[in-house]
Amino acid sequence: MNSIKLRLFLILVSVATIALTGCGSIESAAQDDCTSIGWQIGSKGYNECFKARVYERKLDYSLPPGDRPSPSVI
């Protein structure tokens, strides 16, 4: 690779990394959900809420049964 292509590639990788870092994780979103409705971290209710929210979010982001991802155009 010449230096221009390498620089462009590194810039794209850096931008993608920053963008994905801003998204957060399923666990942090579940924690935010449970604390926003008043549960205290470590309580029994919080632990049940957290497990339920993580499960729900994983279902939201998973593919339907029998569905396969399609190849990218790029």
Per-residue pLDDT in tens (0 to 9) along the chain, 74 residues? 577 877 877 777 766 665 555 556 888 889 999 999 999 998 999 999 999 999 998 888 777 777 666 676 76
Range of the domain at 32: 25-62
- Structural tokens at position 36: 């926003």
> What pLDDT is stored for residue 34 in this prediction?
93
- Cα–Cα distances in angstroms (integers) from residue 13 to residues 2, 9, 20, 25, 74, in the given order: 17, 6, 11, 19, 15
Task: Assess if residue 18 is contained within a domain.
Answer: no
Position 49 scores a pLDDT of 94
**pTM given for the model:** 0.54
Number of structural domains the chain divides into = 1
The verdict on residue 52 lying in a domain is: yes
